[in-house]
Amino acid sequence: MGLRLPEAISACLFDLDGVLTKTAVLHAAAWKQAFDELLTGLSQTTGEAFVPFDPVKDYDDYVDGRPRLDGTRTFLRARNVQLPEGTPEDPPGSHTLYGVANRKNELVLAMMKTRGVEVYPGSRRFVDEARRLSMSTAVVSSSANAIAVLEAAGLEGLFDALVDGIVAKDAHLAGKPAPDTYLEAARRLDVVPQAAAVFEDALAGVEAGRAGGFGLVVGVDRVGQREELAAHGADVVVADLAELVEP
């Protein structure tokens, strides 16, 4: 066996939701419910037509791969909705950016608890083979729930480093599409970016990999956006990481 990667690559940096775990659909559903609750209320107040959140296009364009607060801000800006930022302690559902973001988090945690967290079998094969080959591995996620997701998925202990939303906040790292979190993961693995491969299903994440000058950026197409992933900077696009595992 082996991996279909350039010889110069010695480290693999994985996004979590949508690359390793089947949680992207839960995130999209949680975002839709949180945003639609807000937009419905605003429509009733202003009399303007209610236009629901699109869990495919709006999710891909505005929130996927971004830190929760950034995703909230980016989508609402696109809809010309202005809310005060608020504070992290705002109750879920409050009409502040933090209130909407906290509502989304409340919803996705409940969905994970009731539905569980599945792992893509091809991704597990890839990670296992990378570790067999003594490659360094890291998870780079904008989620503040990454540790809980890894534990629920049975993936804890398989990665040498984790840079998640909590690490990013504490270290004042800009979120994707900025490359900061991926560069921090490479630093923690003690590898230069040119020796690391980035694996991303989000357009913002692919942009981050390209902006960081990484040796390989792999787009993982789970929802039929192969052309968009390539346009945003993926060197190669696969439907599943199993395609990169030699038989």
Q: Which of 17, 60, 180, 201 is catalytic?
A: 17
Please report, for residues 48, 50, 92, the alpha-carbon distance to residue 79 in angstroms, rounded to integers and kept in the order given.
12, 11, 20
Contacts 24+ apart (CB under 8 A), 49-53: 51/79
* Of 202, 207, 246, 197, nearest in space to 221 by CA: 202
Look up 17 and say whether it is catalytic.
yes
Q: Which of 15, 58, 90, 201 is catalytic?
A: 15
DSSP reduced 3-state for 205: helix
Q: Tokens 């997701």 correspond to what residue?
A: 149
Look up 15 and say whether it is catalytic.
yes
Where do the H-state alpha helices sit in 53-157? 57-58, 68-78, 97-115, 121-132, 146-153
User: What residues are annotated to the active site?
Assistant: 15, 17
